[in-house]
Amino acid sequence: MKMKSVVIRTRDIAKSIEFYEKIMGFTFDSMISPSPGKQIAFLVDPQSCGKLELLYNEAGKANAAGGVSITFNVDQIGEAEKHLLANGVRIVSSPKTIKGGKKIMTAVDPNGVELDFIEEKD
């Protein structure tokens, strides 16, 4: 079994696309509208080839994070923090060092989805 993609339900698909492109470095691939009032945007992380689907449903319930979180490996946690803060991203847990020398930080995207950042000790 292998993961195909992560799906995030969004209340504002344009804002979510902009966030994942401009701040997180994803590449927009395509968008479909499978039925009236529904849109799905497909994005790819060029470094890991991970796939992200942003799902907008006009009639759907407002669903904040929905238990979804996405983890990103970063080379330098301090640089990741500066980048996020410079772009107005809310950090909910500042960088800290945990067992084994890993450094972690948590932020949230425009939909309330938890974004975890890990700098692993070499």
Structural domain boundaries in the chain: 1-60, 68-122
H helices within the chain, ranges in order?
Answer: 13-18, 77-86
Q: What is the pLDDT of residue 80?
A: 95
- Distance between CA atoms of residues 8 and 53, nearest Å: 6
- Distance between CA atoms of residues 46 and 55, nearest Å: 20
**What is the CATH code for 68-122?**
3.10.180.10
Q: Classify domain 1-60 at the CATH superfamily level.
A: 2,3-Dihydroxybiphenyl 1,2-Dioxygenase, domain 1 (3.10.180.10)
- Distance between CA atoms of residues 61 and 63, nearest Å: 6
Two tokens at 109?
Answer: 């995207």
pLDDT by residue, tens only, the chain of 122 residues: 456 678 888 989 999 999 999 999 999 999 998 888 999 999 999 998 999 999 898 877 655 556 677 888 899 999 999 999 999 999 999 999 988 888 999 999 998 888 989 898 76
- Distance between CA atoms of residues 36 and 53, nearest Å: 18
Q: What is the pLDDT of residue 1?
A: 44
